[in-house]
Amino acid sequence: MRVVKVFIGIAVLACVVLLGAYQYWQSRLAAPLALDETTIYEVPRGAGFTRVIGELEERGIIDATWPYRVLAQLSPDKVNGLRSGEFELDPGMSGNQMVARLSSDNVVSYRFTIPEGWTFAQMRRQLDAAAKLEHRTRDMSDEEIMTALGHEDEYPEGRFFPDTYRYHKGMTDLEVLRRAYERMATTLEDVWAQRRDDLPIDSAYDALILASLIERETGVPEERRQIAGVFTRRLERGMRLQTDPTVIYGMGEDYDGNITRADLRRETPYNTYVIDGLPPTPIAMPGVGSLQAAVDPAPGDALYFVAQGDGSHHFSSTLAEHNAAVRRYILNR
């Protein structure tokens, strides 16, 4: 009987010790990390949990690895889902929360913005400078980029939707471009499906070209449909579009900020003072407002417009009225 009592006493003591050890281990995982400010930690690609907690200890983010080694033994499912990438670790975050964060999709993200009206060349320069991206396109030609995207027969201008795209470290610039391309393709398809029936353009690509002219002509949202109306009426009447942005695009690197009379007469595939109809490709990346204007131009009788100097335009229905507006807003200025 005495032996039984001793055995029971030992068992109770062992349970108390184990319970205390368990509670102490849990308290270590529940304790806040040793951080005074938000810190970015990157889980290297292919790194195991042992390596990660070792690095965290070396950086002073955790003060010991043993609670996490025990966690790996008792709850391997909690540590086997580590994701590679950058993660924000915040002051006050517990060890348990840290492990959950490193196993989540909540990686640090960055932004890449394509402004409306930018050219593909402008976008490429900005993309090449984007931090944390894996740059695969820097040494590619435009043609090679389109081939890598699976669209080898397409000219890149206008094919990428202007917007802000989020990415994380480890992503490639081709992935960002693919998202922007697919966004434009989907948007253009949707907009073209809602077009007016009497448009003087024959395809969604024509609408993309026309939208790029609208985008480059005005930064005033309320004017886009008016600009589209002028272009549409000129196309219907067989009049040349005579829009300066096409001249500039056709000049390429020769453009120095000014357009001369000689430039207006220069024969390029894009100079709408020389060619009939639309240029062969877009000249910029239009936003959804310009795309919608291209397929739903405003009614009216205006055939001309001239910049008033404040970002807006004066619209005219006759050449005499237009010439008077040019004298007022351009020559006098």
pLDDT tens-digit readout, 278-321 = 999 999 999 999 999 999 999 999 999 998 888 899 999 999 99
Indicate the pLDDT class of residue 19, thresholds 50, 70 and 90. Answer: low
Q: What is the mean pLDDT of residues 225-243?
A: 96
DSSP code of residue 119:
-
Model confidence band, residue 187 (pLDDT cutoffs 50, 70, 90): very high
Residue 79's pLDDT band (cuts 50, 70, 90): confident
Burial 23-61 (b: 16+ CB within 10 A, else e): eeeeebbeeebebeeebebbbeeeeebeebbebbbeeeb
Q: How far apart are the first and last CA of the chain?
A: 113
Decide: 137 and 177 in contact? Cβ < 8 Å: yes
Q: Which of 211, 179, 182 is nearest to 295 (CA)?
A: 211
Give the mean pLDDT of 27-34.
Answer: 83
Residue scoring higher pLDDT (197 or 12): 197
Pair 75, 103: CB distance under 8 Å: no
Output the pTM of the full model: 0.84
Name residue, tokens 């020559």: 331
CB 278, CB 200: distance < 8 Å: no
Angle between helices 204-217 and 224-236 (to 10 degrees): 120
Cα–Cα distance for residue pair 125/204, rounded to 1 Å = 28
Residue 255 has pLDDT above 80, yes or no: yes
Q: How confident is the model at residue 1 (pLDDT cuts 50, 70, 90)?
A: low
